[in-house]
Structure 1
């Protein structure tokens, strides 16, 4: 029996996905959770064979969960199932050596077959994403610039970002300015959009 955890923040999709997968005689859904933190908790509690992770989830995104699973050596295979084909997301997923990266518009049969392949030790990627593997574009942002932009993306002011990261307002402005220049943007809002479109946030 292949035991899986499903993490997806859209409740209707989560329920539908679990129901369809449960129809398979050799697959058991041991937990369904709506955010990344609960996904990590469920993996540690249930020790599933595979975790299906959306990328854009509250608290921790799917790639952060994947990184934590690898770091903690939890022995759970990771399959990213997402609507986003952004090269930056795919690059990070490949760097984390995730076991599967599938688009949500794949047929359910493709997903079920991919689950079985991953369980056997194979890696699976949606055919439509294969081209992105040859278009590697390095993320120019430093870790601190990424943190500052992420907080800006959440709508935080310079003062609030400074408070969150224990930096001075001047330092925050410098990081924002640097990120804007690197991304060839005209404003922090455009920089946030560009970074998100690339999958760097």
Structure 2
């Protein structure tokens, strides 16, 4: 802005016509240069910002230390809640060896397995203390299997606990979120460029008016 303004005022003494020509040329060159820079940043945003492999490795390390590091658990819980995601695998296999606590319920003949953290639950289910527990039915015998098949009933029924979870992997959502930053930078850059041009035009016209 100061470069454009100083050039415009400096050439004002030569003549208004020449002033306008110089001002338009310099402003156009600066505008084109800034636009090319912003476009290049947007095109190469995957290299400018964190890569997917780095994000994926970061989330995997947080999952690995979830039960042993309070800070890691705090960070991962907040990532789960903010991005509505869970771990790095949509089937949550990464939690099997980390938080496996099997509880048997003889009354209902079910096996309850503490699978994922409560922060993986959807917001409306986070008050449910058993939201992160998977429920397995006792294995069916051959007679019951034949009965289900003859009646065209599903043999493997999905557990309801899965629909209560945010099943999207966190690395993908974080990567998409970071990929949107160059778009906002481009919008902000355009706003600054337009505002600067308008302010410079106003300053030059006001200076010319005071010299009459």
**Do these two structures clear the TM 0.5 threshold for a shared fold by scoring above it?**
no
Bigger fraction of residues in helix = 2
Bigger fraction of residues in strand = 1
